Amino acid sequence: MTSEAVNTSAGGSTTTGTGADTIVDAGTRGVGADVGRPDGVPKVQGRFAFSSDLWADDFLWGHTLRSPHASALIRGIDIGPAVAMAGVHAVLLADDVPGRLTYGLEHSDQPALADDQVRYMGEPVALVAADHPDIARAAAEAIVVDYEENEPLTDPEAAPDADPIHPDGNIIRELAIRHGDLDCSGEVVVEGVYEVGMQDQAFMGPESGMALPDEDGGVELFVSTQWLHVDREQIAACLGIDEEKVRITLAGVGGAFGAREDLSLQVHLCLLALHTGKPVKMVYSRDESFLGHVHRHPAKMWYRHHADRSGRLVKVEARIVLDGGAYASSSGAVIANASCFAAGPYKVPAAHVVGLAVRTNNPPCGAMRGFGAVQTCFGHESQMDKLAAALDIDPVELRLLNALAPGDRLITGQAITGTFPVAEVIRQCAHAPAPEIPLTDDRRALPGGSGRTTDAADTVRGTGFAVGFKNLMFSEGFDDYSSAACRVSDGVATITCACAEVGQGFVTLAQQIARTELGVDEVILAPAQTATVGSAGSTSASRQTWMSGGAVQAACREVRAQILADVAADWGVSPDGLVLRDGLVVSLDGQQEALLAQVTAGAGYEADVEYHHAPTEALDENGQGNAHVSFACAAHRATVDVDPDLGLVRVRDITTAQDVGRILNPTQAVGQIEGGIAQGLGLALMEEIVLDDGLVRNASFTDYVIPTTLDMPDVTIAAFVEEPEPGAPYGAKGIGEPPTISSSAAIAAAVRAATGQPLHRIPIRPADIALG
C-alpha cells in the first residue's frame, strides 16, 4: 500500500506524493539516531510541568459529585446546602448545560451531567467551583441527591435480552465475519471458553486541567488529552458555542494508554469557567480517576479450532462478548478489532466469528493499549496450545506451519500487501538462547518476593510462547489524517503539530525528522494547540509515527523544495543538483554552498500539510473488506517460576521479537517494548478492577495492584525485525501496542506449563492455581 500526502504550501498550491522510503543524511541527531527525549531531563529532575501543575491568578477549584450507585433514578437534587457554604462560587446541574447534554467519542450518548438517572457508579451528577479544593469537595458532599435505586444490569451475556438501560438499547455493535466454506470441518477439533478481566490504564498522572474564560464568550482549555480537536468538537457542542471559540492547548501528560481519548473533566472545567467568569482548575484524586475514565473491556470468548492431522488450520469459530459498560465510547471499533483479529496471525481458510459489544451498568470501557486484540490474543493463543497438545506437535512449529505472510488473506478477506514477517518474529523469539536462570533462595527472585512465603525447592518452572498482531492506524473507511506545519527562518526550523505527546516520543521524533529532511540542527517544536494547526488525530492505534511523522516529513519536504528552488534560481542551476546538509545549502558537484541561516534570513519559508494514508473501507454484512491499512506482529516467550501450593507466580524472563518496519530511535523503541510488556504482565497476573453489582471495590493503587520494578523480569529483545513498510515514512511501523498483545498470553501459557492447570482466565489469581 502507499500513503498519500496532500501538501498545501503557504502559497496555496497543492501537490501529491508518497511517503518517504529512504533516510537522507541524518547525522547524529536525525532519524535512526539514538536521540534523547527533550523532556527527559526535566521529568527526571521534577521540573517538568504536568497538567496538575497549572496555575493562574485568582483561580477557582472545581470538583465533581458522582453517583454512588450503578443504576438509579434521580428523583430530586437539593443544592441549597452547597450554595450556602462560604467560598462556593457555583453549583451546576444538567439543566445548566447550555448546549447538547451528551457527548461521546463515536456516538453522543453520555450525559455531561446526569439528568434523570445514573447508569454507572461514578457518573457525574453535579459540579462545584470554590476558592479551595477542600471547600469544593465539602460542598459537593453537602449536595443532597434523592436516588431511587434500580437493580443494575451487570452480566454482559444477559444484556441483549434484558430491558434496555439506555435509549439506544443494550447492543452497541454486533457483527459477524463469515469467510470461506463454513460447512467444512477438521480432523482434529479443540474448543475452549476464555475470559479477560477489566484492566485499568493506571497512568501515573490523574486527570487534570484548567479552563480560562475569554472575553469573546469562548474558553481556553489547558488539559492532558489524546485528541485535541475531537475534544474541541465535543466541548463546543455541550457549551453551545462555535468550535473556534474553544481553544485547547495540550498540557503536560502523565501517561494515557487510551484512557484520555474520551472526555473526562474537559466539559466540566469549561462549564464552570464560563459560569463563574474565572479560571477553574480540577485535579482528580486517584480513586476518582478510577471512576472518571474508561477501562479495558472485559471479554468472554468461546472458540472452536479445526485442523487437519498435519496441523494446518481448517476453520476457526468464535463468539466474543465485550462488556462496554454504560456508554458506547469506542466499543464499536474495539469489537471490530477483536473480531477481525480473532483467529490470530494465521492462515485460516474458513472462519465464522460473531462479535458483540453491549451496554451494562458496569463502568464504561473504551480504548486501551492493544484495542481488542489483547483479549482475542489470549483466546486464540490458548487454543493454539490446546491444538498443539491434541496433535502432539511442538507449539512453536504449529505456529510456524500456519503463519500468515504477505499475499495471504485475513479472515476478513483482505490481502496483506505490506510487510508482515510473522514467521520471522516467531523464529527469532523461539530460537533465541534460553535464559540461564538458576534456582535461588534469594527472596527477591522467588514467587511472593521478600515475604518469605516460598522456598526455591517448592517452585516449578514453565515456559510459554505466544504471537499476536493488530492493525496500525484507524480503520473501516475512517478519514484518517494528520496535519503539520513547518517554518524555516534564520536557519531554525519550527514544527507545529497537534499530536498529543503522551509518552510515545513524538517530541523527539518530530525534531529528528526535521533535522533529517532540512539538514538543520536547531528545531523548535511549537505547543500542540487547536488554534494554530489542524487535527493530528488521536494518539492511539499505533498511528502517530506514521501519520504525524508523515505529516511533519511532508511539510519539511515542501519547505525544502521551496528553499532549493529559490537558491537554484539565484545560482542558475537545477534544484535537483542541490541538497540541505549540516546547516548549508550545497551543490552536489561541490562548487557552491551557502549558509542556510543566511538563505532563510527573515524569509520565513513555510508549509502546511494534511497527510492521509491509503483509503480503507467498511466491513460488509459478512465482515469482509479492506478495512485496515497495515499490520504489525510480535512474539513473546515467557519463563516463570510458580509455587503451585500457594498459587504464587514470578515471571523471570520475557524474550521477544517484534516487527517494527524500521527503527527510528532505538532507545525509545526499547522503552515502548518494556513498558508494553509491563502492562501485559499486569493483565496476566495481577491487574483487575473488581466489581460487585456494578460497584468498583478497589479504586486505589493499594487494592488495584500494578507491576513495579521489583515485579519486572529480565526483558530480552531477540530481534527488531526490520522490513520497511511500503508507504510508511522511512518504512517505520508503530511499536507501542504489540508488546502488550501477546505478552499476557505467553505468561499464561508459561503458568499452564508449570502447573498443568487449564487456566482459562486472566488475570490468573492464586486461587486459580492453588485450588485449581
Q: Which domains does the chain have, with CATH numbers?
A: 4-30+481-612 (3.30.365.10), 51-150+207-283 (3.90.1170.50), 299-475+619-770 (3.30.365.10)
Give the chain's length: 772
- Amino acid found at 88: V
Q: In sequence order, what are the beta bridge partners of 649?
A: 642
What confidence score (pLDDT) does residue 275 get?
98
Asked whether the predicted pLDDT for residue 582 surpasses 60, the reply is yes
- The enclosing H or E element of 565 equals helix 544-571
Asked whether the predicted pLDDT for residue 608 surpasses 70, the reply is yes
Q: What's phi and psi for 720, nearest 5 deg?
A: -90, 110
Could you report the per-residue pLDDT of 261-320, keeping only the tens digit for each?
999 999 999 999 999 999 999 999 999 999 999 999 999 999 999 999 999 999 999 999
Could you report the per-residue pLDDT of 85-140, keeping only the tens digit for each?
999 999 999 999 999 999 999 999 999 999 999 999 999 999 999 999 999 999 99
Average pLDDT in the 67-82 region?
Answer: 98
- The enclosing H or E element of 468 equals strand 460-472
d(CA 194, CA 759): 9
Taking Cα atoms as reference points, which of 243, 292, 253, 247 lies closest to residue 273? 247
What confidence score (pLDDT) does residue 10 get?
28
278 to each of 124, 190, 629, 713, how far by Cα in Å? 22, 63, 45, 49
Q: Which residues of 447-518 form beta strands (DSSP E)?
A: 460-472, 481-489, 492-497
- The enclosing H or E element of 463 equals strand 460-472
**Contact assessment for residue 412 and residue 624, using Cβ atoms and an 8 Å cutoff:** yes
- Amino acid found at 450: S
Average pLDDT in the 1-23 region?
Answer: 30
Taking Cα atoms as reference points, which of 561, 613, 558, 611 lies closest to residue 727? 613
Within 575-686, residue ranges assigned H as helices are: 596-599, 666-685
Cβ neighbours of residue 44 under 8 Å, at least 6 residues apart?
none
Cell of 516: 533529517
What confidence score (pLDDT) does residue 439 get?
84
d(CA 504, CA 384): 32
- Amino acid found at 420: F
Taking Cα atoms as reference points, which of 188, 92, 608, 107 lies closest to residue 393? 188
Could you report the per-residue pLDDT of 337-389, keeping only the tens digit for each?
999 999 999 999 999 999 999 999 999 999 999 999 999 999 999 999 999 99
**Contact assessment for residue 91 and residue 272, using Cβ atoms and an 8 Å cutoff:** no
Going by their DSSP bridges, the two strands 124-130 and 313-323 should be labelled as unpaired
**Contact assessment for residue 78 and residue 143, using Cβ atoms and an 8 Å cutoff:** yes
d(CA 38, CA 226): 20
Asked whether the predicted pLDDT for residue 602 surpasses 50, the reply is yes
What confidence score (pLDDT) does residue 503 get?
95
**Contact assessment for residue 446 and residue 452, using Cβ atoms and an 8 Å cutoff:** no
Taking Cα atoms as reference points, which of 179, 183, 190 lies closest to residue 354? 179
Produce one character per residue of 28-54: b if its CB has 16 or more CB atoms within 10 Å, e if not.
Answer: ebbbbbebebebeeeeeeeeeebbbeb
Produce one character per residue of 513-536: b if its CB has 16 or more CB atoms within 10 Å, e if not.
Answer: bbbbbbbbbebebeebbbeebbbb
Report helix, strand or coil for 213: strand
Confidence tier at 11 by pLDDT (50, 70, 90): very low
CA atoms within 13 A on the CB side of 277: 2
Sheet containing strand 299-307, edge to edge, reads: 171-179, 350-358, 313-323, 299-307, 188-196, 761-762
Confidence tier at 396 by pLDDT (50, 70, 90): very high
d(CA 242, CA 9): 27
d(CA 323, CA 364): 8
Asked whether the predicted pLDDT for residue 21 surpasses 60, the reply is no
Taking Cα atoms as reference points, which of 497, 499, 582, 505 lies closest to residue 532? 497
Sheet containing strand 492-497, edge to edge, reads: 14-18, 4-9, 605-612, 481-489, 492-497, 523-525
Confidence tier at 5 by pLDDT (50, 70, 90): very low
What confidence score (pLDDT) does residue 6 get?
25
Between helix 373-391 and helix 331-340 the angle, nearest 10°, is 20
Could you report the per-residue pLDDT of 151-196, keeping only the tens digit for each?
999 999 999 999 999 999 999 999 999 999 999 999 999 999 999 9
- The separation between CA 717 and the C-alpha centre of its own chain, rounded to angstroms, equals 22
Taking Cα atoms as reference points, which of 716, 720, 737, 566 lies closest to residue 655? 716
What confidence score (pLDDT) does residue 449 get?
86
Cell of 133: 479544593
d(CA 443, CA 441): 6
Q: What's phi and psi for 153, nearest 5 deg?
A: -90, 110
Eight-state DSSP code of residue 65: E
What confidence score (pLDDT) does residue 22 get?
41
Within 577-701, residue ranges assigned H as helices are: 596-599, 666-685
Omega before 98 within 30 of 0, i.e. cis: no
Asked whether the predicted pLDDT for residue 1 surpasses 80, the reply is no
Sheet containing strand 144-149, edge to edge, reads: 117-118, 72-78, 144-149
CA atoms within 13 A on the CB side of 336: 25
pLDDT exceeding 90 applies to what percent of the chain? 94
What confidence score (pLDDT) does residue 9 get?
26
Query: Of 7-11, 48-52, 200-204, 660-664, which range is least confident?
Result: 7-11
Q: In sequence order, what are the beta bridge partners of 460?
A: 642
Cβ neighbours of residue 218 under 8 Å, at least 6 residues apart?
241, 242, 244, 245, 246, 247
Mean pLDDT over each residue of the chain, to the nearest integer: 95
Please return the burial class of 472, using the count of CB atoms within 10 Å of its CB with bins 0-12, 13-18 and 19+: buried
Q: In sequence order, what are the beta bridge partners of 299?
A: 196, 322
CA atoms within 13 A on the CB side of 625: 17
d(CA 659, CA 722): 6
What confidence score (pLDDT) does residue 27 get?
55
d(CA 277, CA 687): 42
**Contact assessment for residue 70 and residue 695, using Cβ atoms and an 8 Å cutoff:** yes
Average pLDDT in the 418-447 region?
Answer: 94
**Contact assessment for residue 723 and residue 439, using Cβ atoms and an 8 Å cutoff:** no
Confidence tier at 451 by pLDDT (50, 70, 90): confident
Report helix, strand or coil for 333: helix
Confidence tier at 452 by pLDDT (50, 70, 90): confident
**Contact assessment for residue 482 and residue 551, using Cβ atoms and an 8 Å cutoff:** yes
